[in-house]
Structures are given as structure tokens and as C-alpha cells.
Amino acid sequence: MPLNHSFVLDSRPQGQASVENFKWVSAETPALQEGQVLVQHHYLSLDPYMRGRMNDSKSYAVPQALGEVMIGGTAGQVLDSRHPKFKPGDQVVGMGGWQNFSVVDANVPGMLRRVDTTHVPLSHYLGAVGMPGVTAWYGLVKIIAPQAGQTVTVSAASGAVGSSFGALAKARGCRVVGIAGGQEKCDYVVNTLGFDACVDYKVHSDYVSLSKALRNACPDGIDGHFENVGGMVLDAVMLRTNAFARLAVCGMIAGYNGAPMPMANPALILVNRLKLEGFIVSEHMEVWPQALSELGHLVGSGQLRPRESVAHGLASAPEAFLGLLQGKNFGKQLVKLV
Amino acid sequence: MPLNHSFVLDSRPQGQASVENFKWVSAETPALQEGQVLVQHHYLSLDPYMRGRMNDSKSYAVPQALGEVMIGGTAGQVLDSRHPKFKPGDQVVGMGGWQNFSVVDANVPGMLRRVDTTHVPLSHYLGAVGMPGVTAWYGLVKIIAPQAGQTVTVSAASGAVGSSFGALAKARGCRVVGIAGGQEKCDYVVNTLGFDACVDYKVHSDYVSLSKALRNACPDGIDGHFENVGGMVLDAVMLRTNAFARLAVCGMIAGYNGAPMPMANPALILVNRLKLEGFIVSEHMEVWPQALSELGHLVGSGQLRPRESVAHGLASAPEAFLGLLQGKNFGKQLVKLV
């Protein structure tokens, strides 16, 4: 059996996460038991939710255990199988974690899914045609539920969730306005992703200023918003909402480190009769087949061309992850392992 | 025609509202035109929403015009009628405003409603069996939608909305916990209104402290909350919410005067997958018949015994209104005019 390298969580962050929180561990992969599959990971997905799992406090889900391999989505190839439904060479996605190989009990539902890479590159099953894409779909379709002609906005617009959100909303006839950090990302959001406009939050020092820029980009106000960031961006969007706007709350990345980030003006929830709803896509597995089908079609037909930010080699994972938390990635953050 | 006295809005408040914002005006009531009804008001309802209307800024609805009679719900008796559906002696509720008499164009739908005072006292049609009661009903039934056995909370629990909310929630098998200001109100909420517990927010100086008291009163966490106040109370409740809790946002009285009140920890919307929804009951007229029917039954059968705080004479309205904004009332605030 091949030698496996992995990162385990070695300590919990005090404030900002650092590379010292992760420990490199090497061990031989165990022999397969009946029903198990050996997968070689080609790509590891890095996602903001992982930061929440590193804390011991109440968050999305149970905390990541100390000394265990860091959780994470993976896409790869079956090397060996003792399960009748998988054979060597199959392309698969799963939750293999921060390591080169995983031994998966394929009898547990949802642990391993075979994918077709004829029209969709393997790595996209970790992004637009995976968890981030379904996340965008759920927020747009199940919470915002926009009508054609309405204006919807999304923060972190150049990322995996944001770019999927844009394509899904354009397909429904919405005016789609992104919020992103920096001119390069904003240009990409408009020119490549096809958003109607994009606002650079980095040139604004407070939410009132950002809100004025949003007013120019959204002359008819905002009917729906997908929040990946929180903090100043959410405050600015709330000021521009129309009556009965719906806000899907998916990320509060700005608040992960240190003290809670307040919301500036919650009275707007009443004044504009807003609906805000937080969600985690893994709690809504019933929508995945429908969402993945639509997302696969958008990618296969070229209507959604997601960008990737690829780090090379497992050893680069901690640095790439910390960069993601600081918004240094440009598109879906992956680690290429093979 | 009788001489009418009224209060008009004379100036908009800078910060706190004061009695100087209102001006006393007297004039003879005009002669009735075809389709009009002359109503003598017996009760004027005072409600927090009126403070929002006094501002010129965007709020619930269009601002109250300067020089016009202050808006307000009224219950009274028909004195004279040139409309076939109303006759002298009819008991009616409407939006007659801060004055002794009103001339109502009864052809406009929803302007005047005849009520039956056999089992429900006239004044209660401004409270439990009126707008405040329907407000509680909408938040509980349409937003919180609790299951039997779940825990629901409400701020300003001794008030018109809060007491109705409690009776409606108890009828659905919920554990109901109030939040109110002072021991006397809390005792009333538990002993007379039949809540399971009540927390006195006035003995807590910050939301973390209030939240600990809520933990004791809600050992199974909070599944639904009706917010009449905002600020520290909402912050404390959010800390104790269970996953998928629903929060109906109906009042942000604490933020009306001066600067916006921030929400301490909006990341909880995501962490606990909360739904927050602001609403104004006048935008949901379709629920009124069903809600009023249930509320009338609860009052008629004695399951809901709402308390009233009654000021006497129109001249007392401004002081009573300012007291309401400071939480000095105990139960539904009315002005008795006859």
C-alpha cells in the first residue's frame, strides 16, 4: 500500500489561524477491508467553513478533532476497490481530507460519488458542480427566489460560490451585481463571468461609502442578496434593499477571527421588511441532484466558466488556506496533489 | 355639528419626541356628505409605530404630514350616518386619529368596521382583538410557526402584542417565556397572563447577563422569538436560539430615537441557521379575519385577559404617548375620550 501524507489539526487557533496549527503526518495506508475503496486524491478543496471547524466553540457543526486529519472535499481516482460499485480508474469525489490517499467505506451513503469528466473537468466537481455551486443554488432558489428583472447581489463574487450564483441568477433573468476586492477581480466578474456590474469594496473605508457605490450599480435597489462575507458589505447592502428583500446568509468570514462583528443597523430588517436566513448546504441534501444537474449544464455549455486558484502539492495546503481566509485567492481555491 | 378637538403634528422630533411636537386644534366637524359617517371616538389607541411616522425619513410607511391630525386607531360609536350600512348607535373601529370625532368616508374599504361588544369590550378591539392581536398572530403563526412543545419568547410581554402572543402560543402547546421591564410586570405576565416564565430585563446591564437569565428560563433553548423592542433584548435572545429558530421582527422601539442600535453578533444567523423576518401587519390584511376570529374566542372565553393602561381625555394623549415610548405603560395604552 502507498505511503500517505496528511495534515492533522495539531492545536486550535487563538485568534488568527497559523501554519503552526497543522502538523504533517506520514503513514502507510491500511489494507482494504471488504466494502472499502482506496482513492488517490488529485485535488483538495479549501473552503472558509474549515476555519469554523478549527474552533472548539459552537459553530456550523462539531469541531474538527485534534490529532485527526483535517476535513476537506477531494476529487480523485480509484486505485483499488473491494466494493462492487467502484473499480480502479473511476473518477470520484468525496470528503477525503487534507491527505494524498484515503480509504473509504463505500457502503456508507454519500461517502463517495462517481463523476463524469467528459464535459466537466474533475476539479470543477469541487467548485461550480460541487458544494460551492449547490450552496449558491440553494441561496438563490430556495431563499432569494427572485423574479426575472429583479436585482440580486453577491459578495465574494469572483469566488466559487459567487461565480456560480451569478450564472444561476443570469439564467433566471436577474440583474446581477457582484461585490469583490480589487479592480482585477471586479473586471473578471463583469467581463468573464458576465455580471451586470461589480463594486470594489476595497476602495471604500466604511459601509455608507460602499452603500453609495451600490446605489449606482443597483439603480432599482436590491431585491435579493447572497452574503459570503458579512461585516461592512452586509451593512452596505442592507441600506440599499427594497421592501421584502431576501438575504441568504452563507458566510461571515470577517467574523471568524476574534471578536464578533456587529450589524450596523438591524432596524432595517423591520423598516424594509427583510427576510434574513442563514443556512448550511449540507443540511439540505434533497436539493443536490437538481442543483448539480443545472450547474453541470451551465458548465458544460460554457455559460459558467469558473476560475480556479491552484496551489501545488499537499505541503502548500496550510499557506493556501490562510491566504483564502485573507481573500488572496482568485476563484475557487484548490490544492493539486497529482 | 359638534365641536371637535384634535392634535396635529406641529414639528418633527430632533432625537427624542416631546409634547411640543403636537399642537391642539379645535374646529367644528363638517356636515356629512353622501356616503359619510360621523363617529364619536370613545377610545384612542397609542402605539409605538406612531413614533416612526413622526420622522421624515424612510420608515414603515409614508411619514405623518405636518399640520395633519395624528394618525391612530379609534373605537367609538356612530352619531350620524349618510351610509346605508351604518346607523347611529353602531359600535365601530377605524383609524380616526387623535381627535374626538371623525367624519369617515365609509365607501372606502377598510375605513370603518362594525364590532360586536356582547362578549368583547369595545376597547379590546384596539388591542387583543385588533391590530396588536393580529400582529402577534401573524408573527407566531406565519413566521415562527411553532410546534407543540417548542419554546417561544416575546419581548414587551405585558403589552398588547405580548399578551396576545402568549395566549396564542399557549393554545398551541408551546412553552412561552416573556421578557418585560420590572418585577410587577413579570409577575403579571406569569400569574395573570399564564406565561411559563418571565425575565426582567431591567436587572441586567448587558445582553450577556440577560442571556444567562434566559438560559435558566429556557432550558431547552429558544425555537421562536417575537421581537417588539430590539437592542439588548434581541442580542440576548439570539445567543440562546436553537438551530433553525425563527425570529419575527415587529418592533425596534429602542432604536427610534437617535443613532441606529447595532446587533451584537449577526454571525449567529449563520451559526444557528436562523430566519429573521420583519413585517408590518397592515400589509397582510388577508390574515385578519382568521386571526380576529381566534383572538375574539380567546378573549370571550377568558383565556386572554388583556390589561389596559388608560389615560383620560384627549389632552392627555401626548404625555401618555411619550410614556409608552419609555415603557411606562402597563398593558395596552389607550386614551379614554368619553
* Residue contact B280–A273, C-beta within 8 A: yes
Confidence class for position A59, pLDDT limits 50, 70, 90:
low
Can you read off the three cell numbers belonging to residue A140?
438563490
Interface test with A, best of B269, B272, B279 (most A CBs within 10 A): B269
> Which helix (H) or strand (E) is B167 found in, with range?
helix B160-171
Which amino acid does the sequence have at B27? A
Query: With an 8 Å Cβ cutoff, is B221 touching chain A?
Result: no
Residue range A101-118, pLDDT digits in tens: 999 999 998 889 999 999
Can you read off the three cell numbers belonging to residue B9?
403634528
Q: How many angstroms separate the CA atoms of A158 and A160, rounded?
A: 7
Of B249, B262, B270, nearest to A263 by CB-CB distance is B262
List every span in chain B annotated with CATH 3.90.180.10.
3-127+307-336
Residue range A138-193, pLDDT digits in tens: 999 999 999 999 999 999 999 999 999 999 999 999 999 999 999 999 999 999 99
Q: What pLDDT does residue A237 have? A: 98
Which amino acid does the sequence have at A204? H
Nearest CA in chain A to B234: A266
Q: What pLDDT does residue A326 have? A: 87
Query: With an 8 Å Cβ cutoff, is A236 touching chain B?
Result: no
Q: What pLDDT does residue A61 have? A: 64
Average pLDDT, chain A: 94
Confidence class for position A199, pLDDT limits 50, 70, 90:
very high
Q: What pLDDT does residue A60 have? A: 55
* Topology given in CATH for the domain delimited by B131-282: Rossmann fold (3.40.50)
Confidence class for position A248, pLDDT limits 50, 70, 90:
very high
Number of Cβ within 10 Å of residue A78's Cβ equals 21
User: Quick check: A62 pLDDT over 80?
Assistant: no
Number of Cβ within 10 Å of residue B76's Cβ equals 24
* Residue contact B230–A255, C-beta within 8 A: no
Q: What pLDDT does residue B251 have? A: 86
Contact A231, A254 (CB under 8 A): yes
Query: With an 8 Å Cβ cutoff, is A61 touching chain B?
Result: no
User: Quick check: A255 pLDDT over 60?
Assistant: no
Q: What pLDDT does residue B110 have? A: 81
CA A144 to chain B, closest CA, distance in angstroms equals 13
- Mean pLDDT per block of 10 residues along chain B (338 residues) reads 95 92 96 97 94 76 88 97 97 97 93 93 96 97 98 95 97 98 96 97 96 98 96 96 97 65 93 96 94 96 93 98 90 95
Pairing mode of beta strands B3-9, A332-336: unpaired
Q: How many angstroms separate the CA atoms of A11 and A99, rounded?
A: 18
Which amino acid does the sequence have at B313? G
Residues of A in contact with B261 (CB under 8 A): 266-267
Q: How many angstroms separate the CA atoms of B179 and B173, rounded?
A: 19
Upper half-sphere CA count for residue A311 (Cβ side, 13 Å): 20
Residue of B50, B133, B41, B24 whose CA lies nearest to B94: B41
For B3-127+307-336, CATH gives 3.90.180.10
From chain B residues 129-168, the ones with a CB under 8 A of any chain A CB are none
Of A265, A278, A279, nearest to B260 by CB-CB distance is A265
Residue of B266, B87, B288, B329 whose CA lies nearest to A253: B266
Q: What pLDDT does residue B257 have? A: 55
* Residue contact B265–A266, C-beta within 8 A: no
Upper half-sphere CA count for residue A174 (Cβ side, 13 Å): 30
Of A60, A267, A273, nearest to B261 by CB-CB distance is A267
List every span in chain A annotated with CATH 3.90.180.10.
3-127+306-336
Size of interface A-B (CB pairs under 8 A): 104
Q: B43 forms bridges with which residues in the sheet?
A: B75, B336
List every span in chain B annotated with CATH 3.40.50.720.
131-282
* Topology given in CATH for the domain delimited by A3-127+306-336: Quinone Oxidoreductase; Chain A, domain 1 (3.90.180)
Query: With an 8 Å Cβ cutoff, is B220 touching chain A?
Result: no
Residues of A in contact with B234 (CB under 8 A): 266
Query: With an 8 Å Cβ cutoff, is A259 touching chain B?
Result: no
Query: With an 8 Å Cβ cutoff, is A249 touching chain B?
Result: yes
